[in-house]
Amino acid sequence: MKVLITGGAGFLGSHLADALLDRGDEVFLLDEGPTTKIRHRLGHEKLHFTQDSVMNEVIMEELIARVDLVYHLAAVVGVEHYVVDPYRVLNVNVNGTQNVLKWACKLARRVVFASTSEVYGRNAKVPWREDDDRVLGPTSIDRWCYSTSKAVGEHFCLAYAKLGLPVTILRYFNVYGPRLDGMGVGRVVTIFVSQALRGDPLTVVGDGRQTRCFTFESDAIAATVAAGVRPEAVGGVFNVGCNVEVSIRMLAERIIHLSGSTSKIQHVSPEAVYGRSYEDIPRRVPDIQRMQEILGVKAMVSLDEGLRETIEAFRREMEEAPSHGSCD
């Protein structure tokens, strides 16, 4: 099978590329970012990398014409982006997705769209089923632009499905693992691990009682591969995650313990980190029945097991980073 992964040099895309290459598939990657996360695969006879953007329609047509299946993972992701540059979030996530879907529909190619648990907003009813309501805050709060951009992408997927496009939607719940982000930036696991390995305080935003369900990358990738190859997944919307609920305070404590760090926990206000254009979600828990029954995937990696692997990967990254001496 020939497969295109947009955002293929990113965290999830790089792990998906590994899984598909290991299956024997021919893999085409599109990404406008650096190739650091895929450098171990560069030169593989079945890997092809194009450094460009989903906003480039000419490139999208050329690449989609060469494959059987498209995994559309490219997006602007991360709190630091959607509270600082909501325009870019909306532009890339909505218009870039339209470019992918338009050419996939014209060329009759199957698509798997990477959405997010953020689409549920602040719905207080948990666990969230795929057909549950979206409950959002006002448009004046920038934090909701990412949720909205992904929901619009889902609407376009379902609209194209009515035109005959075979499409599947995946809503990921806090996927983590090696290659997640650059040291000290991005999502909460990366930030906490980086702080713990440096011996800095782990900065828990708010009181730390907000909960998440963390999904190790190998479990998320198993579901992602299944979504692209199982016929019964076409037309479906699936939560991808585990249903083990963990508070952010507990996550910080586990990372300190597993890393052997001497770090302490420091609570900081949301406003001090993200400004006033942010609103946190108290609980985020998926119903994973569809993932288990239709995709045939069950999350297998425990939080401690996944954190150990992630911590060791970041420890190696720190050790391999070039040191910069000083000249007196």
177 SS3 class: coil
pLDDT for res 82: 72
Q: Does the pLDDT value for residue 185 go beyond 90?
A: no
Q: Is 237 helix (H, G, I), strand (E, B) or coil?
A: strand
CA distance 3 to 235: 19
Task: Looking at 112-259, list the stretches that DSSP marks H as alpha helix, in order from N- to C-terminal side.
Answer: 144-162, 188-198, 217-229, 248-259
Q: What pLDDT sits at residue 142? A: 87
Mean local confidence (pLDDT), 285-297: 98
Backbone φ/ψ region at 97: left (φ over 0), alpha (ψ -120 to 50), beta: alpha
For every residue of 70-88, DSSP letters joined together read: EEE-----SHHHHTT-HHH
Three-state SS sequence of 307-327:
HHHHHHHHHHHHHHCCCCCCC
Closest to 299 measured CA to CA, from 234, 233, 226: 226
Q: What is the pLDDT of residue 135?
A: 96
Q: Domain 2-175+216-241+285-299: state its class.
A: alpha beta
Work out the average pLDDT over 313-325: 78
pLDDT at 176 over 80: yes
Task: Count how many Cα atoms sit within 13 Å of the Cα of residue 8 in the half-sphere of its side chain.
Answer: 29
pLDDT digits 0-9 by tens, 58-111: 999 999 999 999 999 999 987 777 778 999 999 999 999 999 999 999 999 999
| Over residues 183-208, mean pLDDT | 91
Q: Ramachandran region of residue 25, left (φ > 0), alpha (ψ -120 to 50) or beta?
A: beta
Predicted pLDDT at 79: 74
Between 279 and 233, residue with greater pLDDT: 233
pLDDT confidence bin for 326, thresholds 50/70/90: very low
Query: Using 50, 70 and 90 to split pLDDT, how confident is the model at 278?
Result: low
β-partners of residue 216 are 176
Report the chain's mean pLDDT, rounded to a whole number: 94
**Mean pLDDT of all residues in 305-314:** 98
Q: Is 62 helix (H, G, I), strand (E, B) or coil?
A: helix
Taking the domains of the chain in order of start, what are their residue ranges? Answer: 2-175+216-241+285-299
What is the C-alpha separation between 34 and 281, in angstroms, rounded?
Answer: 31
Mean pLDDT calculated for residue range 114-132: 96
**Tokens at 50, concatenated:** 């194009």
pLDDT in tens, 36-62: 999 999 999 999 999 999 999 999 999
Tokens coding 79? 């709190």
Active site positions, annotated: 146
Does pLDDT of 321 surpass 80?
no
pLDDT in tens, 159-175: 999 999 999 999 999 99
Q: Say if residue 322's pLDDT is above 70.
A: no
